[in-house]
Amino acid sequence: MGYMETYKAWCENPYFDDATRDELKSIAADEKEIEDRFYKDLEFGTGGLRGVIGNGTNRMNVYTVRRATQGLANFIIKEGAADRGVAIAYDSRRMSPEFADTAALCLNANGIKAYVFPSLRPTPELSFALRDLNCIAGIVVTASHNPPEYNGYKVYWEDGAQITAPKDSQIINEVKAVTDFNDCKTMDIDEARACGLYNTIGYDLDDRYIAALKKMSINGDLIKQVADDIKIVYTPFHGTGNVPVRRVLKELGFKHVYVVPEQEKPDGNFTTLEYPNPEDPKAFTLALKLAKEKDADIVLATDPDADRLGVYSKDTKTGEYKSFTGNMSGMLIAEYLLSQRKEKGLLHDNGAFVKTIVSTNMADKIAAEYNVHLIEVLTGFKYIGEQIKFFEEQNTYEYEFGFEESYGCLVGTHARDKDAIVAVMALCEAAAYYKSKNMTLWDQMINIFEKYGYFKEGQKAITMKGVEGAGKIAAIMDKLRSNPPKNFGAWEVLETRDYKNDECLVLATGEKHSTGLPTSNVLYYDLSDNAWCCARPSGTEPKIKFYMGIKGSSLEDADAKLAELTDAVMAYVEA
């Protein structure tokens, strides 16, 4: 059925409510809009759903959410796990509570219990909750840091991580098998409650989550010693982080935590932000203004579902606030944790440090310094969570730390996804530790660069929307595969890694070997002079992303080299 036929079916089918059909009829003269909404089903991928909110098969709405949930319910029933239930959380985005209830009531209509948080909660708390409640699966309604018009739906499995192989493809197949919206079940919420199928999660679970975070503290006594002197500015970007961040910092003993008032309350329109993303410097405008007023030591921001953390810290020499990339904050936490654990005899003999393939190579140096095993995984924190499961099942390693370049990390194993709440806690504790030594976090970051090398990484994303955009993104990847580069500017390609075809090629010798990782549409290039670059289409946005990394002799040299390599990669792609 073509997009126009599908559109007409939605306009006429009484399964869709009157408001939906009326709104769709209002765009009858706009064929381009109809095509964009109906040219495909909103894809349920390995990360679940993510898309623009609206009516149509290629949009986030109660019908596409119900269809995805029906597929998940069918899979859970086939697994014989319907009696264990599903935990559900949601963030501050538009329609998030409605989508959460839509998912819960679909599960309920299939005889599966749902455990739903009474109000918005961070994504990592959902990961904790489903393990705490012994659920078979979990759902988070969020679009993370996407623009306000987006929402999304992520599925977690019983280990607490997002779904990975083979469960991901099995669930995807079940969702694809639901071809008729009339087959998607639902029921009345009062009836579901009366039957014991719809359950509201109690506030005592928040207590258990915060208690689990506090167990990760290493220098609690030291916090109290410097609590009068350290000042923290924090913004939740109108999202889920406000309550848990303030609570954990207060309970640890921090006294001067200033929350950006304009961004404190939940707001699905993110009215004070162009883009609720801690990677965007403009998003810190209000926080940095408050930091200067309060003379804060550090400035922190969590994204709407509080799984990613952005950081600024004062430079002692200049008094300016310096921004940290996700790689930098990850390395700062890693160096603090591993050094302190080693000093206190808490470092495991079989400790493991996990990073993604597009994250900084400084991690390799830190892992070697503390004699912990470094493991590299595909992009996506679910693969880090999966490693924790493997450690437990195979009794191989003890998890020490894991991070990805996109501002996400996990301290501890209470959750199996990145957790900005525990990252805030770790960074604030590190700030207190270095404050006791008359240093800021920026001062310590310079020390880390001096110790391991001036590693610097960057990213360029090209947005290509719609049918044409998807074709252009595919063409770029095809070009890189069919005409593999020998160099990017002054950097020679030493080895290529094609994760889609599971092949690494050493250019000097022609030797080939396996990537050792699951299949993924990613191309990676090891370059001369300790540099690298990588290309991958985004799994959640209409973008293709290019990652670059270099090693310089100073901050200035690193900046110059990264800019040169970025220009060289873009020139090759656009040629």
SS3 91: coil
Residues labelled as active-site residues = 144
Please enumerate in sequence order all residues whose Cβ is within 8 A of that of 349, keeping only pairs 6 or more positions apart, or say none. Answer: none
Amino acid making up residue 410: L
Q: What's the number of CA atoms in the CB half-sphere (13 Å) around residue 30?
A: 10
Provide the sign of the torsion angle of the four alpha carbons 109, 115, 118, 121, taken in this order: negative
Q: What's the number of CA atoms in the CB half-sphere (13 Å) around residue 12?
A: 6
DSSP 213-270: HHTT-S-HHHHHHHTTT-EEEEE-TTSS-HHHHHHHHHHHT--EEEE-GGGSS--TT-
- Cis peptide bond upstream of 484, omega within 30: no
Please enumerate in sequence order all residues whose Cβ is within 8 A of that of 207, keeping only pairs 6 or more positions apart, or say none. Answer: none
Please enumerate in sequence order all residues whose Cβ is within 8 A of that of 168, keeping only pairs 6 or more positions apart, or say none. Answer: 46
d(CA 299, CA 56): 41
φ and ψ at residue 20, rounded to 5 degrees: -65, -50
